[in-house]
Amino acid sequence: MAEAVALDPSRPCRVLSVAGSDSGGGAGIQADIKTIERLGGFAMTAVTAVTAQNTRQVTAVWELSPAAVVAQIQAVVADLGVDGIKCGMLASEPVVRAVAQELAGLSHLPLVLDPVMVAKSGARLLAAEAEAALRDLLLPLASVVTPNLAEAAALTGLPVETAADQERAARALVEMGAGAALVKGGHRSGLTVDDLLWDGHEAIWFSAPRQHTAHTHGTGCTLSAALATGLAQGMPLRLAVDRAIRYVQAAIAHAPGLGQGHGPLGHQLGREVLF
């Protein structure tokens, strides 16, 4: 895992989100900005793709060029500076390779990798040929990787359906180079959502009551952005994961009820809910 960053207490931590834009505002760059700012950070972005989507479907995706993505990262780093990074939707193999090459020079910073592959609507958000590049080039740079069950299976080649599978996959991801792995259990059935963190030394389970609601669009983006913010603020990994999960749970409970499909979270929830 990256070393702790020396922070200036007179300013908020600076968190860079490298991800796609969600026109519906519930996931991607938009969810990341809301989350980072809500948790006390200053959000900056490098947009990798523009999507036309709402709570029901993704109707179109326009990928940005690798040069455009890298230029955004370099502009932010050169002037504002960065304390932590979150990577989400990267869309294509050329973008994955370009981002990995650029972030290799920022390996002293905490990096949270959310391996976004498929949207809740079922639309594919990462080209199949890009999966190998993400696994081989970007995963080893990650302080933490945060896959759901399907993403963990795709990255490791292992079946990931049970609690034992989650731990096996998390260990495999760390063996593949990640500093730590948080394998999310939201897609399993049961009364609770059980997420497994393997930090290379200890398996730590986080359990939260399952909320039966359609308003869960952007939960993965929100969790990874919240985790990146915590690490950028200098929080220990376990505490950063705990706060990120609590924030997601609270945001689900305070969802505004918008849209006719998988609705967005309530990122704007009252301060007293979380702190």
* Residue 213: φ, ψ to 5°: -155, 155
Residue 125 contacts residue 21 (beta carbons within 8 Å): no
The active-site residue, picked from 219, 230, 259, 266, is 219
Phi, psi dihedrals of residue 17, rounded to the nearest 5°: -105, 120
Q: Are 48 and 64 in contact (CB under 8 A)?
A: yes
The catalytically annotated residue of 221, 229, 230, 263 is 221
Query: Annotated catalytic, 184?
Result: yes
Q: Is 221 a catalytic residue?
A: yes
Per the annotation, the verdict on 86 as an active-site residue is: no
| Catalytic residue, candidates 45, 48, 55, 216 | 216
The C-alpha angle 20, 25, 28, rounded to 5 degrees, equals: 25
Q: Which of 24, 28, 41, 218 is catalytic?
A: 218
- Active-site annotation holds for 270: no
Helix (H) or strand (E) holding 73: helix 66-79
Catalytic annotation, pick one of 45, 184, 185, 266: 184
**Encoding tokens for residue 122?**
């079922």
Q: Which of 85, 29, 82, 22 is nearest to 57 (CA)?
A: 22
Catalytic: which of 84, 179, 185, 220?
220
Residue 219 is among the residues annotated as catalytic for this protein = yes
DSSP β-ladder status, 111-113 and 144-145: parallel
Active-site positions read 184, 216, 218-221
